[in-house]
């Protein structure tokens, strides 16, 4: 199956921001969040989009 | 040897030479080396032979022989399928694919070139048999010019003006001039994009051009041509570094964002200007008004 336009993961520094079925990675600092998002981007073949300073999502296009 | 030998030889020769003349290997990478070329030259030879023998057949009152031409037509349609299949297969392995519209355009060109060869051989043999060899040679020269003219379609610089524009980030949003391209979250990706990325804006010269450059296949062809000639700063598994083209919905301009390995803005501009306008992307909405009034 070819997956198109799906949120693969969310990376956030705010505990209560994200809920749901996608994998959520909670980080302590912005730097940690960026590092986790960069790794996930490479691993999942997705693009890290910034929705706000506290929330990144990894999206498969 | 009979009275048809020399006209047939001349017809086949001119047709085959015409096919060689129309066989270009360029940045489109096809046909590549020996094998791809041999396929097309052999088919060109067959086309030339088919065009040539039509005339002696008619003169010998063998009218059924002309039906061979229909066989040729179905054969050459097969050539189109062959090109389409090969290129589609290859396309999935390109870092920046050609896109189906471009592939279809190339396939159509290969098919039509065989018909030009048939037509040329037909005319040359007819002139030789009906008049003399000098008229036949003159006809061959005219056919070469005609084929050269029919073969060259228009290029983007005929329908749009290309300008280099700065790329910038507004938060995570990447912009070329004021056209939004995409959201890039990671600061390190943003740095790479600012370092390697280039932006161009294509402004349509007239109204009916808007739909042509808005065509997704035409846009993909632009990205492919630039990426093939200047290289592309990406690898498989880096979807954030994909060159993209987005449209300004207000005025139909197109914002081109590319990531060449060789950051040469003058050359990139030239390449974009020389991208062929794809036959399948051309639309002529302004013709509608004209027809209603006339």
* Predicted structure pTM score: 0.81
In terms of DSSP bridges, do strands A6-12 and A23-26 run parallel, antiparallel, or are they unpaired? parallel
**Structure confidence at residue B25 (pLDDT):** 63
**Structure confidence at residue A22 (pLDDT):** 80
Confidence of residue B294 (pLDDT cuts 50, 70, 90): very low
B235 touches chain A (CB under 8 A): no
B145 touches chain A (CB under 8 A): no
Q: What is the dihedral of CA B63, B64, B70, B72, to 10 degrees?
A: -90
Provide CB contacts within 8 A for B143, sequence distance 6+. B14, B18, B116, B119, B120, B123, B124
- Give B56-77 pLDDT, tens digit per residue: 888 888 888 778 788 888 888 8
Provide CB contacts within 8 A for A29, sequence distance 6+. A13
The ipTM of this complex is 0.82
**Structure confidence at residue A45 (pLDDT):** 84
Closest to B152 measured CA to CA, from B24, B3, B7: B24
> DSSP strand E in chain A: where?
6-12, 23-26, 47-52, 55-60
- Assess whether pLDDT exceeds 80 at residue B292: no
Q: Which helix (H) or strand (E) holds B174?
A: strand B173-176
Residue B171 dihedral angles phi and psi, to the nearest 5°? 70, -125
- Give B244-264 pLDDT, tens digit per residue: 899 988 888 899 999 888 888
- Give B90-101 pLDDT, tens digit per residue: 888 888 888 888
| SS3 (DSSP) at B83 | helix
Confidence of residue B291 (pLDDT cuts 50, 70, 90): low
- Assess whether pLDDT exceeds 80 at residue A31: yes
CB–CB of A50 and B189 under 8 A? Answer: no
**Structure confidence at residue B200 (pLDDT):** 92
Q: Give per-residue burial for B71-104: e unless 16+ CB within 10 Å, then b.
A: ebeeebeebbeebbebbeeebeeebbbbbbbbbb
A17 touches chain B (CB under 8 A): no
| SS3 (DSSP) at B124 | helix
- Give B6-63 pLDDT, tens digit per residue: 888 998 999 999 888 888 766 555 656 667 788 888 888 998 998 888 888 888 888 8
* Residues 32-51 in A contacting B (C-alpha not used; CB under 8 Å): 34, 37-38, 41-42, 45-50
**Structure confidence at residue B26 (pLDDT):** 61
């Amino acid at each position: 199956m070819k997956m198109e336009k799906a949120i693969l993961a969310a990376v956030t520094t705010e505990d209560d921001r994200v809920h749901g079925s996608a994998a959520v990675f909670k980080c302590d600092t912005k730097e940690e969040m960026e590092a986790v998002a960069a790794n996930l981007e490479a691993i999942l073949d997705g693009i890290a989009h910034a929705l706000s300073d506290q929330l990144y999502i990894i999206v498969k296009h | 040897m009979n009275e048809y030998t020399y006209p047939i030889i001349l017809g086949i020769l001119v047709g085959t030479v015409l096919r060689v003349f129309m066989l270009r290997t360029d940045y489109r990478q096809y046909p590549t080396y020996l094998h791809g070329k041999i396929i097309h030259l052999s088919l060109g030879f067959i086309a030339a032979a088919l065009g040539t023998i039509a005339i002696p057949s008619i003169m010998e009152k063998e009218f059924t022989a002309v039906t061979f031409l229909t066989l040729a037509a179905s054969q050459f349609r097969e050539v189109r399928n062959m090109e389409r299949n090969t290129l589609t297969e290859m396309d999935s392995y390109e870092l920046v694919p050609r896109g189906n519209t471009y592939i279809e355009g190339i396939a159509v060109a290969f098919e039509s070139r065989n018909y030009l060869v048939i037509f040329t051989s037909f005319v040359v043999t007819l002139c030789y048999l009906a008049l003399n060899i000098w008229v036949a040679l003159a006809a061959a020269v005219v056919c070469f010019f005609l084929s050269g003219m029919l073969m060259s379609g228009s290029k983007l610089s005929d329908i749009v003006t290309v300008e280099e524009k700065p790329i910038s980030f507004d938060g995570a949003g990447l912009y070329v001039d004021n056209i939004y391209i995409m959201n890039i979250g990671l600061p390190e990706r943003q740095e790479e994009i600012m370092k390697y990325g280039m932006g161009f804006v294509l402004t349509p010269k007239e109204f009916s051009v808007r739909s042509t450059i808005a065509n997704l296949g035409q846009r993909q062809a632009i990205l492919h041509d630039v990426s093939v000639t200047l290289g592309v700063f990406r690898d498989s598994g880096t979807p954030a570094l994909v060159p993209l083209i987005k449209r300004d919905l207000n005025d139909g301009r197109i914002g081109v964002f590319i990531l060449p390995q060789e950051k040469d803005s003058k050359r990139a501009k030239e390449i974009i200007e020389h991208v062929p306008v794809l036959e399948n992307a051309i639309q002529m909405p302004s013709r509608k008004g004209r027809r209603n009034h006339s």
